[in-house]
Structure 1
């Protein structure tokens, strides 16, 4: 049914070659494939396993890296690294979207770029690796692929609200955010910008900053907070 080397490039990006090719195929199969002409298994059960694998590996890595950190600090770092946006970023970095197995309607609506679909498939891949080769193999993949995200948050960098908003909009099947400069005031050496972010079907949100980019980030964060997406991360 499956060509043995069908997912060769993805396996190379993952750093894991599957002994059981059926596992990687199921991990990439979205629930939209249910009810087709052929009986198809989707990736939801593997996602359940992969979520637990990811959580354990990240918790272990943070505990080792920050031995003096409080439980609260560890929890904040943990949440940033296991949330859907982080999983979707990792998925994009390895080109997972082009390998997804979607229904024609889901693929036609931009499913390969949707953050929620990418995040779920990334967790399913981790579950598949765990079943294919055990925890050590899954741990190795997580530590390598999540390393750049870990480094970013170790330095205290704030979440990229614009990226998070774009992923949220894609996951909801909405148009991409559009940013409008509302005003610029103040002297040239200390300007203040006000930007507005607009998404069809949502009430616009505004933000202010010392640069156009920071104002756009503030606007994106305001919209995320209003929609209950950003949570505590936006205030840290």
Structure 2
């Protein structure tokens, strides 16, 4: 019995969590894909990680906690968890997806980890998910805290990529004041919609502030 199987009582849920939509399309819907489980697992993962870092860092402000959470649930980090659990070798993929390197696709692997968490929640409940996440996902939280967190624009870029949205676009929508002391207002647009805006003494500062506001908006959804 492998690591993943040992976590589950209902093996059918694990099989579904490992089933990519390409396999379902190729096998004419013989089995449900892992997309719904991924949706559930994403919510469970965010709840557990949010609660864990809230508890561990009582003196940190919201912006710091948001940045730390993003660094723990991003594609790169979740793909690393997939490697620890040997997820890639156990995926059910179509021949086409297999041929294009699906078993090493970080985005696909990260999505599958979320699906596994969703399946585990249905099978064993929240406590089992907490145990899995603490053991495999936030074991290096101390190192994460020591490492400078990414700037807001980089984190926002990563977040929208994870959610398969169009890249953020930053626009200066207002500039006031004399040339030597201007204030710029920058708006960040995602998928054609204005998400947030902020002002700063230069365009770079305003863009970073707008990205931070956008992060707060998107992670509340």
TM over 0.5: yes
In the superposition, the TM-score normalised over structure 2's length comes to 0.64
In structure 2, the residue matched to 1:59 is 50
User: Deviations for 1:10-33, whole angstroms, at most 9, x for unmatched residues?
Assistant: 327xxx531110000000001111
Asked whether 1:17 is paired with 2:7, we answer yes
**SS at 1:34 equivalent:** helix
Q: Are residue 28 (structure 1) and residue 18 (structure 2) matched?
A: yes
Q: SS state of the match for residue 68, structure 1?
A: coil
* 3-state SS in 1 of match to 2:59: coil
Give the alignment of 1:82-97 within 5 angstroms: 82-97=73-88
CA distance in 2, matches of 1:145, 1:154: 17
Of 13, 32, 37, the residue aligned with 1:41 is 32
Report deviation, 1:35: 2.5
Structure 1 residue runs without a partner (length 5+): 1-7, 169-230
Contact 1:57–1:143 (CA under 8 A) maintained in structure 2: no
Measure, in 2, the Cα distance between the counterparts of 1:36 and 1:107: 12
- Map residues 165-184 of structure 1 onto 2, 5 A cutoff: none
RMSD (CA atoms): 2.3
8 Å CA contact 1:50, 1:124 repeated in 2:
yes
Please report the TM-score for the alignment, with normalisation by the length of structure 1.
0.61
Ranges in structure 2 where 5+ consecutive residues have no aligned partner: 162-210, 213-221
C-alpha spacing 1:77/1:151, structure 2 compared with 1 (3 Å): same
Matches within 5 A, 1:146-185: 146-157=137-148
Alignment match, 2:104: 113
Which digits, 9 at most, give the CA deviation of each residue in 1:179-234, with x for residues without a partner? xxxxxxxxxxxxxxxxxxxxxxxxxxxxxxxxxxxxxxxxxxxxxxxxxxxx87xx
The CA distance in 2 between the partners of 1:152 and 1:89, in whole Å, is: 15
User: How many residues end up aligned between the 2 structures?
Assistant: 155
Match of 1:79 among 70, 88, 99: 70
What residue is the counterpart of 2:90 in the other structure?
A: 99
Q: Could you tell me which of 93, 112, 123 is aligned with 1:132?
A: 123
Contact 2:20 2:91 in 1 (8 A): yes
Shift of 1:113: 0.3
